[in-house]
Amino acid sequence: MKPLLLALVEGVAVFGGVTTMTALWRPGGVDNLHLAVQVLLQALVLSVCCIVAFYYNDLYDLYIVRDFEMFLFRLAESLGVMFILTAFSYMALPDLNMANGPFVSSVLIIVGVLIPLRGATYTVMRHRFRSRVIIVGSNDLVADLVLEARNRPNDGLTILGIVDDRVVGEASVFGVPVLGPINDISKILSEHRPNRIVVALSERRGRLPVRALLEAKARGVRIEEATQVYENLTGRMALESLMPSALIFDSGYWKSPPDLAIARAISMVVAAVGLVVTAPLMAAVAVIIKLDSDGPALFIQDRIGRLGRPFRLIKFRTMRVASGPHSEWVRQNQDRITRVGHWLRRFRLDELPQFINILRGDMNLVGPRPHPVANFALFREHIPYYSIRCSIRPGATGWAQIRYGYANSLDEEIEKMRYDLFYIKRMSPLFDLRIVFDSVKTVMFGRGAQSADLYDKQIPKQVVKAS
C-alpha cells in the first residue's frame, strides 16, 4: 500500500506543478475552456509519463530505493526515460504538443517538487511513524524478522527487545536486547510502552500470556503473529513456521468459483489479444531460431497443471538439442544456450507461445510457474505444502518469477515456493495486475534471465529444470 500511496501523492504533486507552469507560459492566460482542457491534458500526459518512468526504475519500491542518495541516482535515470515516453506521447497526440519553454520549465518543476517531497517522505517514515515492537519468542523466525527489519528501514519497525524464558540471562539475542521472561511481560510492557507485540512462540500451550496480551489489546496495542508480520514485510511465506492448521482454516487459500472464473476470463482475453498482436514477432523469432541452430523452433515439455494434471507446455527453444542424457538446470547448461536463446531468455520472449496454452485452458496469465512432470514426485516429497501450489492453474508469469527469477536447485525451488504460497493466499485481480506490470518491466529492461543468488549446493541429478 505504501508504494501506491507514494505514487498517488507524488503524481498529484507533479500534476499540480506542471499544470501551474504550463498555464503561466500562456501569454494571454487560460481564458477559455478549450485552452484549459489543453493545459490539463498536457500536464496529465507529462505526469503519467513521469509516474510510469519512476515505476519502471523502481522509484516506488522502498526496499530497492531505500535512501535519498539512491533516489537521486534513480531520479536521473528516470528523467531520461520520461523524455522518451513524452516524445512518443506527443508524436501520437500532436495537438497536445508542448513548446520547449514550458516543457523544460515543467521538468524543473518536477525535480523541484519531488526532491523535497521524497526527502520529507524518508524522514517521516524513518522517524515519525515508526512502530515500537516487542517480540514474544526467540526462534529462527525471530532471527529472520530482525534481519528483515534492519534491511527495510522504510517499513518503520523499531524492535525494542525480545521476551522469552529460554533466553533469560542473555543480554541480547539476534542483536536485540532480551527484556525478560514471559511471566514479567506486564511489567515489561508498562516500562517500554510498545504499540505492537509480535508473538513468535513455536509452542503456545502453557506459554502464551493470554491475560497480558488481552489487556494490551484493550489499550490499543496491535497484537500480531510473527508469520503474518514476516509475510507482510517480505512478500513471501515463512514455510518452516507455518502450522498445518493455519493452512487448513485460513480462508485465503480457498478460491471461490467466481474468483477463479474472473481470473480465467481475464487470462483468455489477454491471451487472445496477445496472440494476435505478437504473431508477427513470434513468426520472426521462429525463423531466427531455425537459422541460429539446428533443431525445432519450439520446445515442448510435459508440465504439471492444476490438481496435478499434466499438460504440454509450449516455449521457444533456447538451447541446442542435447545428444544424450543431461541435466536441465540452467546453471549446468550455460554452454548449451544458443546466442538467440540468451536474448530470448533475457527478455522472456521464449514464453510467448504460452498464449496458446492459456487459450487451451492449461494455464492462466498469472499463477505459479508449472513444474516439469519429472519433478513432481521429488517436489511433492521435499517441498512443504506442495499440493496447495497445484490448487490453481499455473501461470505464464507469477509472483515468484518476478521476485525471485529462475530456480537452479531444489533449495531455490523451496525458496520460490514461499512466493507461490503468498500469491495463492493473496490472489486477486489487482494483485494479478501488479504482477503483469512488473513482468512488463522485467521484459522491457531485460531482467528475465537474472536468477537469484545461487547457493553452493549440490543439485540432485534427477531434478529437471523448471522455470
pLDDT tens-digit profile of 341-360? 989 988 889 999 999 999 99
Block residue for cell numbers 523544460: 104
User: Percentage of the chain surpassing pLDDT 90?
Assistant: 46
CA 130: distance to chain centroid? 23
Report residue 4's pLDDT band, with 50, 70 and 90 as the boundaries.
Answer: confident
CA distance 453 to 82: 31
User: Percentage of the chain surpassing pLDDT 70?
Assistant: 88
Long-range pairs for 49-53 at CB < 8 Å and ≥24 separation?
Answer: 49/82, 49/85, 49/86, 49/89, 50/11, 50/14, 50/78, 50/82, 50/110, 51/7, 51/10, 51/11, 51/14, 52/85, 53/78, 53/79, 53/81, 53/82, 53/85
DSSP string, 333-346: -GGGB-HHHHHHHH
Report residue 397's pLDDT band, with 50, 70 and 90 as the boundaries.
Answer: very high
CA distance 238 to 232: 11
User: What are the residue boundaries of the structural domains of the chain, listed by start?
Assistant: 2-127, 130-234, 257-444
Query: 451 pLDDT exceeds 60?
Result: no
Cell of 321: 538439442
pLDDT tens-digit profile of 156-209? 889 999 999 888 888 899 999 999 999 999 999 999 999 999 999 988 888 999
Cell of 274: 496477445
Long-range pairs for 25-29 at CB < 8 Å and ≥24 separation?
Answer: 25/99, 25/101, 25/102, 25/105
If we measure between CA atoms, which residue out of 139, 191, 194 comes closest to residue 165? Answer: 139
CA distance 299 to 315: 5
Report residue 101's pLDDT band, with 50, 70 and 90 as the boundaries.
Answer: low
The residue with greater pLDDT, 64 or 378, is 378
Report residue 144's pLDDT band, with 50, 70 and 90 as the boundaries.
Answer: very high
| CATH number listed for the domain at residues 130-234 | 3.40.50.20
If we measure between CA atoms, which residue out of 363, 310, 320 comes closest to residue 341? Answer: 320
pTM: 0.83
CA 21: distance to chain centroid? 36
pLDDT tens-digit profile of 408-425? 888 999 999 999 999 999
- Note the residue count of the chain: 467
Report residue 329's pLDDT band, with 50, 70 and 90 as the boundaries.
Answer: low
Cell of 301: 515439455
Identify whether the C-beta of residue 100 lies closer than 8 Å to the C-beta of residue 45. Answer: no
C-alpha distances (whole Å) from 105 to each of 19, 22, 109 are 11, 8, 6
pLDDT, averaged across the chain: 85
Report residue 333's pLDDT band, with 50, 70 and 90 as the boundaries.
Answer: low
